[in-house]
Amino acid sequence: MRSLGVPFNAVSREKLILDIYARVHPLDSYTSNSSMLIDPASLSITRVDSSVINSQWFVDGVLETSSAGMDSLDFASLDLSAGLHTVKVRAFDPTGFDPVNGWVRMNQTRLEQFVSWNVMISPPGPDADFNADGIVDGVDFLIWQRGLGSGTTLAGGDADHDGNVDVSDLAVWTSTFGAASGAETNGVPEPSILVVLFAGLVGYRGLAPAPSRSTNLLKKLGSPSAFSS
């Protein structure tokens, strides 16, 4: 039969495979899904045999093609929005799902296993490291200045993530000046001081060209002490 390219006993082969999966699940273990997970770094599974069992990951019902066949899902690479998300993995033996050469034609659900997680992504905290170089410094101030009144993103100077760039974002920059990205704020400067600075900068913005004047302004600002009493 081998020389003819025809299975000798396809029915028994199918029965054997189904009997195996009646006793063995595709997954040996996985990240607990007994409760909602808050800001997990990743989710992971352990396949009973990674050379046989394939995997597919879904986030809110959408297949994550870059994670196909993987034993873990890394959230850092997903850039999910804040809020509740549903993650699901499908672990399956592709032997039974080939529509042409599949060895199993019935009870195929025995050859797959689904696991779901509820994942909550927290909103980001205030962050004035606009160029994402790990520190809040004068370069970030210049980004804020260029984005003032027009920026809508963190990269454009929106430190408090409210969709616009204004004096509130400058307050975040001031309170975290010199700190590593994501550090706790040191307190918001006196509103009156920020209003004066904001008004001065608005007037300053009308004195183009900006680059050289920005540098001079930054030198005058010096350090956070320039903003405190």
- Total of chain residues touching Ca ion, rule CB under 5 A: 8
Task: Kindly give, in sequence order, each residue whose CB lies less than 8 Å from that of residue 57, ignoring residues fewer than 6 positions away.
Answer: 63, 64, 67, 68, 70, 73, 87, 88, 89
Distance in Å, CB of 99 to Ca ion, minimum: 53
Residues 51-110 that bind Ca ion (CB under 5 A): none
Residues 130-169, one symbol each (x = binds Ca ion by CB under 5 A, - = not), give -x-x------x-----------------x-x-x------x
Cβ closest to Ca ion, residue 50 vs residue 131: 131
Calpha distance 34→37 (Å, rounded): 9
Cβ closest to Ca ion, residue 48 vs residue 183: 183
Cβ closest to Ca ion, residue 178 vs residue 211: 178
Q: Interface with Ca ion by CB under 5 A: which range of 92-100, 123-131, 146-154, 199-207?
A: 123-131
Residues 23-52 that bind Ca ion (CB under 5 A): none
Contact call for residues 53 and 72 (beta carbons, < 8 A): no
Cβ closest to Ca ion, residue 17 vs residue 143: 143
What the block records as the tokens of 131 is 């160029």
Contacts 24+ apart (CB under 8 A), 121-126: 121/39, 121/75, 121/80, 121/81, 121/82, 121/83, 121/84, 121/85, 122/38, 122/39, 122/82, 123/82, 123/161, 124/82, 124/154, 124/161, 125/182, 126/159, 126/160, 126/161, 126/172, 126/176, 126/185
Distance in Å, CB of 185 to Ca ion, minimum: 14
Distance in Å, CB of 184 to Ca ion, minimum: 16
Cβ closest to Ca ion, residue 112 vs residue 129: 129
Binding site for Ca ion (CB under 5 A): 129, 131, 133, 140, 158, 160, 162, 169
